[in-house]
Structure 1
Amino acid sequence: MPARGAATQDHATRGEITQHSANGVDELDLAVVNCLQLQPRASWTLVGAALDVDPVTVARRWQRLSSAGIAWVSGRATGQGLPESCLAVVELSCTAAETLAIAARVTELPHVLSVEHTSGPRSLTVLVEVRDLAFLSRFLLESLGSIPGVVTTSSHAVTKVYSMGDHWQLHVLDAAQRAVMMRAPHPRVDGLTSDQANLSRPYDAVDRQVTLLLGEDGRMPVSTIAARAGLSESTVRRRLAALVDSGRVVLRCDMALPDSGWPVISWLWAYADAADVDAVAMALRRLPGIRVCWRISGGRPNLMLALTTHSLHELSLVEARLAAEVPRMSILDRSMVLRSVKRMGRALDADGRSVRAVPLDIWADPTASPPAG
């Protein structure tokens, strides 16, 4: 926890320079990221007030983190204004020699939210969002199926989101710091489910422009969005507020997992009786380390979980706790993320750091072929 009142100077101190050698991350960096996980577009004045740090120091810290690809804020649309919009997990089996090249090509597809190289029988696990099941079929057959080296695909539709990486936090802020951050209106981060987001009005051309620019940088200034979209700042400010407040656009702050102190992600495929699945999922949400909890269809598993842990050793302890606290759930399969290649519109390097934006475009043609590697 950063000491309250510790860093209040506009210039970098010797301590900051020493701590940040080789792009190291300290407690103040983690606190800044945690603030943006709560309020992704918060002003530096608000973040500085929460941490009792000068806003210029906070801005400088964020600039260093974002320039190094350690942390970033992204935005994405939550469907096309249709209740049947579909989030799906796609498992790809690939020839070993082609796996990395295939991952690079899939990363460029605008409907792909994340790409992970995983252990077990599946080579790559891909998360996609499309407008409906027919669109998903075209995407699987014509976009993914056209890539040389893809042997088989298997898909699971996400029918309910209980918890998403959008909600996951570092939890390094104390209660007083969180209270300051929550003074501002809290953005909705429960997208991807039609019962949580207001999807009654389709996205028009202006909504799409604003959303795609937020995909490049979720903290892009209103003035920059206005200039690039050819709109007035008042229009951008109004549309941005409407999109975020309604849950039709989700903003989230991500961090390279090794730098966050939570480097290990594992996926669990689980089953609970239909009558119990909602209660089981709500119990899971309360457990530390649960990054994702989805209800899925397309096979025997009806729950899919992502566990985030500090180490491989801790993983077995978390699974033991799951068995003790959620006995009505059976784990059917598991895999470990060996490398994250793309996460929510950002291409990542081997260290999990962002190297460039690949904005998510839910309006793109699903039959477009991905660029050759």
Structure 2
Amino acid sequence: MSERIKNFDKTDFKIIKELSKDARMPAAKIAANTGINERTIRRRLNHLVDSGAVRITTIVAPDMFGYHSIADINLKVDPEVYDSFVEDCKNNPNVCYIASGWGKANLAIETRFLNNEEMYDFINATLPQIEGVEVVNFFIIPKIIYNIDEWLPVESDFKD
């Protein structure tokens, strides 16, 4: 079992919890909400971002743009085409997540489409035509219940 890395403390945890409520929250408001000095908040926030522990980014809601058809697709991709296929996926506006894996499938992608017909064509026509790429299985996702942008580490992940 992996050991938890505790490079961050309870002050960092408080800052992260406040940012999870509103990533645009000013340091002054975080300071007021937590009772921590504003200068400390700024310094710690810079450290969290610079270390890569936190990314301040925009999260787009695909459904607000009409992308309601979602599929998670597990693929077996031959080593000879793996890197180029991954690059193609990165450049495909319908692919929003790519992860390598172990087992029968060695690549997982999450896709979003404007409608089921586009999704069907991608899974059943586009992917099978690509040399060295095999669809192992796929899951149509009618509803996302909990997403990565809602996840937070637990307080015990932070040292006192």
Q: Deviations over 1:225-280 (max 9, x none)?
A: 11222212122122212222332112343344332221121000111134543332
Alignment of 1:65-144 (within 5 A): 132=2
Alignment partner, residue 223 of structure 1? 28
Structure holding more strand per residue: 1
Alignment partner, residue 342 of structure 1? 146
Question: For residue 114 of structure 2, what is the amino acid of its counterpart?
Answer: H
CA contact (8 A) 1:269 1:333 kept: yes
How many residue pairs get aligned? The number is 156
Q: 1:364, CA displacement in angstroms?
A: 4.4
Alignment of 1:153-232 (within 5 A): 202-232=7-37
Q: Deviations over 1:333-359 (max 9, x none)?
A: 01111111122354xxxxxxxxxxxx5
Evaluate the alpha carbon distance shift between residue 252 and residue 337 of structure 1 in structure 2; reply closer, same or farther with a 3 A threshold: farther
Structure holding more helix per residue: 2
Evaluate the alpha carbon distance shift between residue 234 and residue 250 of structure 1 in structure 2; reply closer, same or farther with a 3 A threshold: same
CA distance in structure 2 between the partners assigned to 1:310 and 1:228 by the alignment: 41
CA contact (8 A) 1:293 1:305 kept: yes
Residue 59 of structure 2 is aligned with which of 241, 247, 254? Answer: 254
Query: 3-state SS of the aligned residue for 2:73?
Result: strand
Alignment partner, residue 283 of structure 1? 88
Evaluate the alpha carbon distance shift between residue 327 and residue 294 of structure 1 in structure 2; reply closer, same or farther with a 3 A threshold: same
Alignment partner, residue 306 of structure 1? 110
CA contact (8 A) 1:212 1:361 kept: no
CA distance in structure 1 between the partners assigned to 2:128 and 2:89 by the alignment: 11
- Alignment gaps of 5+ in structure 2: none
CA distance in structure 2 between the partners assigned to 1:248 and 1:263 by the alignment: 31
Alignment partner, residue 294 of structure 1? 99
Question: For residue 344 of structure 1, what is the amino acid of its counterpart?
Answer: I
Specify which structure has the bigger relative contact order, considering alpha-carbon pairs within 8 angstroms and separated by 6 or more residues. 2
CA distance in structure 1 between the partners assigned to 2:31 and 2:11 by the alignment: 10
- Alignment gaps of 5+ in structure 1: 1-130, 136-198, 347-358, 366-373
Residue 361 of structure 1 is aligned with which of 153, 157, 160? Answer: 153
Q: Deviations over 1:56-77 (max 9, x none)?
A: xxxxxxxxxxxxxxxxxxxxxx
CA distance in structure 2 between the partners assigned to 1:364 and 1:338 by the alignment: 34
CA distance in structure 2 between the partners assigned to 1:207 and 1:285 by the alignment: 32
Question: For residue 360 of structure 1, what is the amino acid of its counterpart?
Answer: L
CA distance in structure 1 between the partners assigned to 2:30 and 2:54 by the alignment: 15
Alignment partner, residue 239 of structure 1? 44
CA distance in structure 1 between the partners assigned to 2:11 and 2:155 by the alignment: 13
Q: 1:307, CA displacement in angstroms?
A: 0.7
Query: 3-state SS of the aligned residue for 1:361?
Result: coil
Residue 121 of structure 2 is aligned with which of 317, 326, 350? Answer: 317
Residue 135 of structure 2 is aligned with which of 331, 356, 370? Answer: 331
